[in-house]
Amino acid sequence: MHPASRYFLCLFVFSLLLLKFPSAAQEKVVWSEQEKPIVEQLRGLRKLDDDVRARTTKDLAMQIRQLPVVPNKLRLAGALANLSTEGDFGRETLQEVTTTLTSALREQPPLPEKGEPNSMYVELASLVRYEHMQAASDNPQFAEAMKRLESDDAKRQEADFKLTDLQGKTWHLQELRGKVVLVNFWATWCPPCRKEMPDLDALYNRFKDQGLVILAISDEEMAKVGPFIAEKKISYPILLDPGRKVNDLFVVEGIPKSFVFDRSGKLVAQSIDMRTRAQFLGMLSQAGLQ
């Protein structure tokens, strides 16, 4: 997947999916009269309350599935899949979204991107591997995408870093054995990142005396991150990665992303997108925190 294809996740909705799929970004997208209402609903998904968003997402999955086989169908299916992992809208809803993406890929399989699996297959593979959705594809790109995700996870397991927080303290991941460590990648410009921060802060204050360490990593400059954190009154450590070396080490191509390491340093849970407090609790429970 091209590094920009998920890294600009939090911006692509507002430019109608073009940043998510770099190959389409140079094309002028023409929406049919049947597609325009779907596009408008996609634009407004983030403004909806979670229960309404869940129902709308499920309905959109069915609408997209019923579209004729045209290039925009796959684009819309991929966009909906991307948005549908921003929290917890129910496994049934996410499975409908996954089925729609699988169907669109089967109807019109896209070509590889620069010798790599097309980002649509990586999206589907991510839903299967990380969200535990049911999907099948006999396209070799899907199998290759699954292998790539497995390889990425192996790199994350071996990852180590030293970064400095906003107060000047240096944090070394491998020296935190004995702690439960949640590594979170985020940015000030990312709406889903901002949405999950209060839940992360509440969990940090709840579990820090039990050995929880949250290391939130941004590739932005101190001048932007410092005032933002002061305003939001976030209490867990905020680390700066201006050269994106640690982002690259963890193969972070989209944010927010979170990784939980247990007290022995084993990677036991991860998220591909924004998580709710309940979802974070589920991740932490895999490291022994209750």
Weakest mean pLDDT among 12-16, 145-149, 159-163: 12-16
Provide, rounded to the nearest whole percent, the portion of the chain with pLDDT above 90: 88
Residue 71 vs residue 140, higher pLDDT:
140
Instruction: For the chain, give every residue range classified as CATH 3.40.30.10.
Output: 162-285
Q: What pLDDT is attached to residue 35?
A: 95
Question: CATH code for 162-285?
Answer: 3.40.30.10
pLDDT, mean over the chain: 91
Beta-carbon contacts of residue 265 (< 8 Å; ≥ 6 apart):
174, 177
- Is 75 within 8 Å of 21 (Cβ atoms)? yes
pTM for this structure? 0.88
The two structure tokens encoding residue 106: 């089967």
Q: Which amino acid is at 185?
A: F
- Is 60 within 8 Å of 42 (Cβ atoms)? yes
